[in-house]
Homo-oligomer: A and B are copies of this chain.
Amino acid sequence: MPKLKPATQFARREHILDAAEQCIAREGFHRTTMHDICRAAGVSAGALYVYFASKEDLIAGICERDRAKLAGELTQLADAPDLVSALGKLAQHYAVDQPVYKRLIVLEMGIESTRNPAIASIFRSVDQFVIESFAKLFERARQQGRIAPHLDTQTLARVVATIGDGMFWRRAIDPTHNPQSLVTVLLGVISTLLNPTQPLHHPAPVGTPMKALT
């Protein structure tokens, strides 16, 4: 048989990853069976193994794709003129707009990263990249006099990342959670950390969907 066009191959792989994400959000990595994924993707077991060497590999594929997307979006953040509003858009996207099932996948990934070296490598490198990006962002802003934090920018980055983690966790795990109001408050907190002289709790308005990141 003639080799499939790379574009078709890529599309099929993506399709399988999409189906797998749905299954995994519903059941978790380890209760999702390859057969579940085959059914969800409308693909035979044999076909699935053309695109992924193993279940491990498929899970890694999901993580890689998700984290690459996050990393890409962070890169765009570097050019943002208004730091706080850029962070607001990011928060809006990841802690409000994005469907819960995408958040659940990230939790699965995080936990898996404590056990699975392949996932750990993907997950941690992106996590460090995120923090480094924040740190650079903050450092540049500080040098340009746009922010004047009391904390060093490394710590600041870690604080912001941790607050983000909290929002993501709660978004995924708490069905009674109202993300919007919380995001507003926490963005205010971050804003104050960046510029302690500014009055507390008058955060830049958020809520504009982050088109570019969807």
What residues of B have a CB within 8 angstroms of the CB of A200 in the complex?
150, 192-193, 196
- Work out how many copies of this chain go into the complex: 4
What residues of B have a CB within 8 angstroms of the CB of A115 in the complex?
26-28, 31
Evaluate contact between A165 and B155: CB separation under 8 angstroms. Answer: no
A196 touches which of B27, B30, B201 (Cβ 8 Å): B201
What residues of B have a CB within 8 angstroms of the CB of A170 in the complex?
161-162, 165
Q: How many residues of A contact B (CB 8 A)?
A: 45
**Interface membership of chain A positions 111-151, coded 1 if the CB is closer than 8 angstroms to chain B and 0 otherwise:** 10111000000001001100000000000000000000011
Instruction: Give the nearest-CB partner of A200 in chain B.
Output: B196
- The CA of A174 and the CA of B126, in the complex, are separated in Å by 12
Contacting residues of chain A (174-188) with chain B, CB-CB under 8 angstroms: 174-176, 181-182, 185-186
What residues of B have a CB within 8 angstroms of the CB of A166 in the complex?
162-167, 169
The answer to whether the Cβ of A61 comes within 8 Å of any Cβ in the partner chain is no
Instruction: Give the nearest-CB partner of A104 in chain B.
Output: B114
> In whole Å, how far is A44's beta carbon from the nearest beta carbon of chain B?
10
The answer to whether the Cβ of A13 comes within 8 Å of any Cβ in the partner chain is no
What residues of B have a CB within 8 angstroms of the CB of A175 in the complex?
124
What residues of B have a CB within 8 angstroms of the CB of A165 in the complex?
165-166, 169-170
